[in-house]
Chains A and B, each alone.
Chain A
Amino acid sequence: MLAFIAKRVLSLIPVIVVVAIVVFMLLRLSPGDPAVVIAGDNADAAAIERIRVSLGLDQPLVTQFFIWAGSLLQGDLGISIFSKIPVTDLILQRLEPTVSLALTTLFFAVVIAVPLGTIAGATAGSWLDRSLMLVSVLGFSIPAFVLGYCLIYVFSLQLRILPVQGFSSIRQGIGPFLSTIALPTMTMGLAYLVLIARITRASVLEMMGEDFIRTARAKGVKERIVVTRHALRNSAIPILTVIGIGVALLISGVVVIETVFNIPGVGRLVVDAILKRDYPVIQGIILMFSGTYVLINLAIDIGYAFLDPRVRY
């Protein structure tokens, strides 16, 4: 098992190196110039050029890359061109809201979706199953930002029980934290929830037709035990896979949700950085996102190995 994990970890290194090179080159070769954005509308060409020189953007591309890569190897992601704050600090400043949102969404979706999907799979064709499938179609169809505005209208403007926007750290108390994270979690979690529920249903449904289920029933095992211990447990791999894919959805979805609910997270940070061409920030965040995604895939692979020993070989 350790050899398996070590092999997977080593395979991450070239992935990260390729991501770093591609991100750097894509950014530098795309149009846009942070010096122009900094200088503002009424600056002349000489002023823009002096700002460009002061930022080191006049250096050849290869020189810029090696300076950045050298710093990266020392764990330094650089300094924001605009705020002059180290990128690592900026990311850490914004990490808590994003991680909180991702975790609460994951929790919200998995805790509801797996039981619902299991029940639907075990009672395929029933009114409950059909209702769940209808809800899942709706959940997929509603764009997150539309759902977000609807929830704001109901819970914030009409009922006035939850705030419209913002984020309160869990360190400031569980109440404020829950009140600010509730609507974004529901908004982002719905699509994720229905995705997991559908996969769970399909997987459980497939298992319910297997010979070992018939055997268990023939032995007189209670239906509840048949479903939870036999069908659901054997459906775990596809469910785990979709949870992993869902993390990619979370990473992209968090940008929209953080904008709609004005959450100061990493998603908004990267969008703002792209709009003003803050190269070090964009590079740092994309590297972080890539690393996170790769690590989650690693965790899922390891999970497979635990759930199904055949995967190790």
Chain B
Amino acid sequence: MMNPFKTTCQTLLAFAVFACGLGAASAETTLRIVPSADLQVLDPMGSTADIVKMHGFMIYDTLYALDEHFQPRPQMVKDLQVSADKMTYRFTLRDSLKWHDGQPVKAEDCVASLKRWQARDAAGQLMARQLKEMRVVDDKTFELEFKEPYGIVLESFSKVASNVPFMMPKRIAETDPFKEIQEYVGSGPYKFAKDRWVPGSKVVYEKFADYVPRSEPASGLAGAKAAKFDRVEWNIIKDQQTALSALMSGEIDFWQSPSLDLLPVIEAAGNLTTKVVNATGTQGLLFFNHTLPPFDNPKVRQAMFWLTNQEAYLQAVNGNPDYYKTCASFFICGSPMETDAGLAALKAPDPKKAKALFQEAGWDFSKPIVILDPTDESIVHPETVVTVQAMRDIGLKVDVQAMDWATVLKRRNSREPADKGGWNLLHSYVGGQVAANPVWSITFSAACEKGIFGWPCDKTLEDLRLKWALADGLDAQKAVAAEYSGRAFETGHHIPLGQWNTFVAFSNKVSDVLVTQDVPVFWNLKKSD
């Protein structure tokens, strides 16, 4: 028969052993993170998801990187020589760069990596079209020769929107760009511990002892990448309340994406700190299906601009004026390309004018307009609710079709009529870097069926995108951005719904968290005992 006293003693003893084990393990420093999502794809060219980008920054390095003021700074590059005609760029790599397998980083690796990136990324494809040749000069040096002066070489190499041009060994970079790589060897500050990876639960990175950080101080994604932990663990905790409790109890150190309604609890906890690491923010978007009535008519698309009250969207999505701001600009406010050209409607919404434009266009108000509503998406769903109400307020008939986000992702590519599996309107949001200029993302494309879902089709806008890429200097780029903005309103490309910031929360023991203007990174920061 079981002796209760004996059993209790055995259990207590086991707890003691466990506690001793913890003490022994603490000799190895570990940073425990709760990221915003599960890491599903390990190939940084295989997905544009933020979590894949974060994984990329853990294990790979880039030729250039953006500092916290949006300026490209050399990262793997030691020296750059640009020819007088600005057609040839010669890059020399830093000394002591090594891959995680111990091999030296060579110029041929970088050229192969850039080729793979150019096959997948919108900015990379644009660069490839302007390139005459990309050649290896020697082990440390490679050159890019353009057909005409190309203004955004360093900006492209340091971009963080969509696919980031991470460098990988030639043998891996030569994988078909549309097939996933099978080896995860980078030259960044941490190594991916594949044998410890539990998909959906835990991702583990180990310090790369041979990484040599730059000598400049860390700034944004640029400067010294000092890995201060032996191990960084990403714990995938889907439930917000559980993540909060784990952070409060000290089981985790850093939480990437607390929801805003938990802010008062976090601030009251006393042992936690919050910080906005992506000051650029996130931008809400409304997309039209340009191929179906009523939004095949630019007048109706413009009507929706007059119906857009950004404050209402921001209240619904975020709700805290300290963390959001209205922004009458296609390009995220606070970035160099911010411009309100052509966007008077967003500053002074006028539902009556919107209704009049629908009537002028001859739209039959009794016909339903199909809006896709992903009820499981915490940002897109409230955006949808606001649009639906605004449209109903002016007498439009709206068919709100509730579904999950994965279904929206599939359905938004459907070009069928709205009542046969297609759609008229849908919402989304993008990171500020995606909305930083007209080139980085397919969001701003107007290339008809080759462009973004909704299939906006306008040669002028496409020409302006190229013109922006070729513009010489910031002022010239700003002028083209304003031109693009005016034309984007005329054509009713899409509607920016305002912007907001999210914050990260971490233990008071953690310090030196970097402001990156994009995803958080886990070098440089440290943790006290």
Chain B, residues 231-254, CB within 8 Å of chain A (1/0): the string is 000011111011001101101000
From known contacts A40-B52, A82-B40, A173-B17, infer whether A152 and B11 are also in contact, taking CB-CB under 8 Å: no
In the bound complex, how far is the Cα of B409 from the Cα of A36, in angstroms? Answer: 6
Q: Are A164 and B409 in contact (CB under 8 A)?
A: no
* Segment from B68-76, B295-303, B387-395, B441-449 that makes contact with A: B441-449
Q: Are A39 and B238 in contact (CB under 8 A)?
A: no
Q: Are B239 and A157 in contact (CB under 8 A)?
A: no
From 68 to 86 in chain A, residues with beta carbon under 8 angstroms from any chain B beta carbon are 80, 82-85
From 23 to 66 in chain A, residues with beta carbon under 8 angstroms from any chain B beta carbon are 31-33, 36-48, 50-51, 54
- A143 within 8 Å of B by Cβ? no
Interface size class of B (residues with CB under 8 A): 35 or more
- A228 within 8 Å of B by Cβ? no
Q: Are B245 and A152 in contact (CB under 8 A)?
A: yes
From known contacts A43-B48, A269-B200, infer whether A83 and B40 are also in contact, taking CB-CB under 8 Å: yes
- A176 within 8 Å of B by Cβ? yes
In the bound complex, how far is the Cα of B32 from the Cα of A262, in angstroms? Answer: 14
Q: Are A275 and B48 in contact (CB under 8 A)?
A: no
- B451 within 8 Å of A by Cβ? yes
Contacts of B201 in A (CB 8 A): 94, 264, 268
In the bound complex, how far is the Cα of B40 from the Cα of A47, in angstroms? Answer: 18
- A234 within 8 Å of B by Cβ? no
Contacts of B451 in A (CB 8 A): 44
Chain A, residues 147-176, CB within 8 Å of chain B (1/0): the string is 001001100110010011110000001111
Q: Are A45 and B449 in contact (CB under 8 A)?
A: yes
Listed residue (A41, A160, A261, A272) with the most chain B CB atoms within 10 angstroms of its CB: A41
From known contacts A33-B410, A40-B48, A261-B242, infer whether A175 and B15 are also in contact, taking CB-CB under 8 Å: yes
Picked from B52, B409, B450, the residue with its CB within 8 Å of the CB of A46 is: B450
15 further A-B contacts with Cβ under 8 Å, apart from A44-B442, A157-B248, A166-B251, are: A31-B411, A38-B40, A38-B47, A42-B48, A42-B434, A47-B120, A84-B182, A157-B249, A164-B245, A165-B242, A166-B235, A176-B14, A260-B242, A261-B242, A262-B238
Q: Are B120 and A41 in contact (CB under 8 A)?
A: no
Listed residue (B180, B239, B251) with the most chain A CB atoms within 10 angstroms of its CB: B239
Q: List 11 A-B contacts (CB under 8 A).
A: A31-B410, A31-B411, A38-B40, A42-B443, A51-B178, A152-B245, A157-B248, A166-B235, A174-B14, A262-B238, A268-B200
- B418 within 8 Å of A by Cβ? no
Chain A, residues 245-265, CB within 8 Å of chain B (1/0): the string is 000000000000001111010
Contacts of A37 in B (CB 8 A): 40, 406, 409
- Minimal beta-carbon separation of A263 from chain B (angstroms): 9
Q: Are A32 and B52 in contact (CB under 8 A)?
A: no
- Minimal beta-carbon separation of A282 from chain B (angstroms): 12
- B407 within 8 Å of A by Cβ? yes
In the bound complex, how far is the Cα of B243 from the Cα of A149, in angstroms? Answer: 11
The 4 nearest A-B residue pairs measured at CB: A175-B14, A264-B201, A40-B48, A175-B18
In the bound complex, how far is the Cα of B236 from the Cα of A250, in angstroms? Answer: 23
- Minimal beta-carbon separation of B2 from chain A (angstroms): 11
Interface size class of A (residues with CB under 8 A): 35 or more
- Minimal beta-carbon separation of B272 from chain A (angstroms): 13
- Minimal beta-carbon separation of B406 from chain A (angstroms): 4
Q: Are B199 and A42 in contact (CB under 8 A)?
A: no
Chain B, residues 30-51, CB within 8 Å of chain A (1/0): the string is 0000000010110000111100
From 103 to 133 in chain B, residues with beta carbon under 8 angstroms from any chain A beta carbon are 120, 122
Q: Which residue of B lies closest to A84 (CB)?
A: B180
Picked from A54, A84, A163, A260, the residue with its CB within 8 Å of the CB of B239 is: A260
* Chain B residues close to A by CB (< 8 Å): 10-11, 13-18, 21, 38, 40-41, 46-49, 52, 120, 122, 161-163, 178-180, 182, 198-202, 235-239, 241-242, 245-246, 248-249, 251, 376, 403-407, 409-411, 413, 428, 430, 434, 441-443, 445, 449-453
- A277 within 8 Å of B by Cβ? yes
- Minimal beta-carbon separation of A148 from chain B (angstroms): 9
- A90 within 8 Å of B by Cβ? yes
In the bound complex, how far is the Cα of B404 from the Cα of A32, in angstroms? Answer: 9
Contacts of A230 in B (CB 8 A): none
Q: Are A93 and B48 in contact (CB under 8 A)?
A: no
Q: Are A45 and B413 in contact (CB under 8 A)?
A: yes
Q: Are B199 and A48 in contact (CB under 8 A)?
A: no
Contacts of A176 in B (CB 8 A): 14, 18, 21
In the bound complex, how far is the Cα of B11 from the Cα of A93, in angstroms? Answer: 27
In the bound complex, how far is the Cα of B126 from the Cα of A44, in angstroms? Answer: 14
From known contacts A33-B409, A33-B410, A164-B246, infer whether A175 and B161 are also in contact, taking CB-CB under 8 Å: no
Q: Are B251 and A275 in contact (CB under 8 A)?
A: no
Contacts of A82 in B (CB 8 A): 40-41, 199
- A8 within 8 Å of B by Cβ? no
From 221 to 244 in chain A, residues with beta carbon under 8 angstroms from any chain B beta carbon are none
Q: Are B246 and A165 in contact (CB under 8 A)?
A: yes
- A178 within 8 Å of B by Cβ? yes
Q: Are B407 and A262 in contact (CB under 8 A)?
A: no
- Minimal beta-carbon separation of B446 from chain A (angstroms): 13
Q: Are A272 and B14 in contact (CB under 8 A)?
A: no
In the bound complex, how far is the Cα of B441 from the Cα of A259, in angstroms? Answer: 34
In the bound complex, how far is the Cα of B236 from the Cα of A242, in angstroms? Answer: 35
Q: Which residue of B lies closest to A272 (CB)?
A: B200
- Minimal beta-carbon separation of A50 from chain B (angstroms): 4
In the bound complex, how far is the Cα of B407 from the Cα of A156, in angstroms? Answer: 38
Contacts of A164 in B (CB 8 A): 242, 245-246, 249, 251
- Minimal beta-carbon separation of A177 from chain B (angstroms): 9
Listed residue (B38, B199, B452) with the most chain A CB atoms within 10 angstroms of its CB: B199
In the bound complex, how far is the Cα of B143 from the Cα of A224, in angstroms? Answer: 92
- Minimal beta-carbon separation of B258 from chain A (angstroms): 15
In the bound complex, how far is the Cα of B521 from the Cα of A205, in angstroms? Answer: 64
- A179 within 8 Å of B by Cβ? yes
From known contacts A33-B410, A179-B15, A268-B201, infer whether A42 and B40 are also in contact, taking CB-CB under 8 Å: no
In the bound complex, how far is the Cα of B42 from the Cα of A82, in angstroms? Answer: 9
Contacts of B122 in A (CB 8 A): 42, 44
In the bound complex, how far is the Cα of B10 from the Cα of A32, in angstroms? Answer: 51
- Minimal beta-carbon separation of B225 from chain A (angstroms): 25
Q: Are A276 and B49 in contact (CB under 8 A)?
A: no
In the bound complex, how far is the Cα of B445 from the Cα of A269, in angstroms? Answer: 37
Contacts of B376 in A (CB 8 A): 275
- Minimal beta-carbon separation of B256 from chain A (angstroms): 15
Contacts of B430 in A (CB 8 A): 41-42
Q: Are B245 and A157 in contact (CB under 8 A)?
A: yes
From known contacts A31-B407, A156-B249, infer whether A268 and B40 are also in contact, taking CB-CB under 8 Å: no
Q: Are A178 and B407 in contact (CB under 8 A)?
A: no
Q: Which residue of B lies closest to A264 (CB)?
A: B201
From known contacts A163-B249, A175-B11, A179-B15, infer whether A42 and B162 are also in contact, taking CB-CB under 8 Å: yes
- Minimal beta-carbon separation of A281 from chain B (angstroms): 9
Contacts of B245 in A (CB 8 A): 149, 152-153, 156-157, 164-165
Contacts of B236 in A (CB 8 A): 262
